[in-house]
Structure 1
Amino acid sequence: MKYVIASIISIIILLIVMYGYIKGVKVYECFVEGAKDGLTICLRIFPYLLAMIMAVTVFREARAMDYFTAIVKPVASLIGLPAEVVPLALIKPLSGSGALGVFTDILTRYGADSQIGRISSVLMGTTETIFYTLTVYFGAVNIKKIRHTLWAAVMADITALIAAVTLVRLMF
């Protein structure tokens, strides 16, 4: 059984190729065509991805997070969000890798079983990198007017933040 689990991806690929062959699909040609499309998409997304990475890097290096954290702390205390989690709540909509770094730091300092660690864990799983997603994907398909998408995404993140605090308090 250990060998089956270790080779599950190879088994899935083999099953897909066999299914395609049975259905009369030219599997190799379809794979090559898909790879070409994937490269084209990568080239279209790259400028937007680079711009977002640069913006997050400038934001982080300018220590702007410290200023935003100080501004948001009073509002966060109203919903019961610990001050230690505020940087994670602020960076997650901008950068998944930046949020992962902040999250790792929180778990290292306070532990995974602390209230701060639990709220951070729920927050990491329930919020999205809004600005990254909007920038990269909307930019890749040339959508200039995002209409209500940004506000809906921000409201969803705020709801997830409040739910994270509430659920952790109720369950633990």
Structure 2
Amino acid sequence: MKIGLYFGTFNPIHIGHLTIANHIAEYSDLDKVWFVVTPHSPFKKKNSLLADRQRYEMVYRATYDYIKLEPSDIEFNLPQPNYTINTLAYLQEKYPQHEFALIMGEDNLKSFHKWKNYELILENHHIYVYPRISEGQVETQFDKHHKIHKIDAPIMELSSTFIRKAIKDGKNVRPMLPEHVWGYLDEMNFYR
């Protein structure tokens, strides 16, 4: 089985994440997309995150009705801060029957050359890139690489940061969140 790994803090997961993941699951050669809930990205401050299990619960609720989308807490038990190369090595060892690919926004591809062991990632994995509106250029080495696949997914300019701030400011963000995620956020009084 060919599985796309969509890494993120998902703080919270929103309809942009779901739309992109579902589009890639339906319009590429991937069989499934796993939302890998990241406990601590080396690029983010940990104090702004909800607890790992709370974010996993939101992803679980958001993907429950989608057969090709699944939550993953695989990184919760790996040393922190975690790097993608370590998670990929762990997954290959744990699930040798699967082929794993990365899913990332074009903005991340622009900084991919700064990732730990990015050459090794590219040597062993395909990368599916969805469009993002962002500054800067993609490195020439990645522009026409045979393992990098640009996906013509909808451009979703919605961010978890925007949603958190809007909730804090008392705005109605319900249409931006999957119904079950909104219910959980509201019930738990998150981000207020």
TM-score with structure 1 setting the length = 0.27
Question: Would you tell me which structure has more strand in proportion to its own residues?
Answer: 2
Question: Would you tell me which structure has more helix in proportion to its own residues?
Answer: 1
Largest Rg, 1 or 2 = 1
TM-score with structure 2 setting the length = 0.25
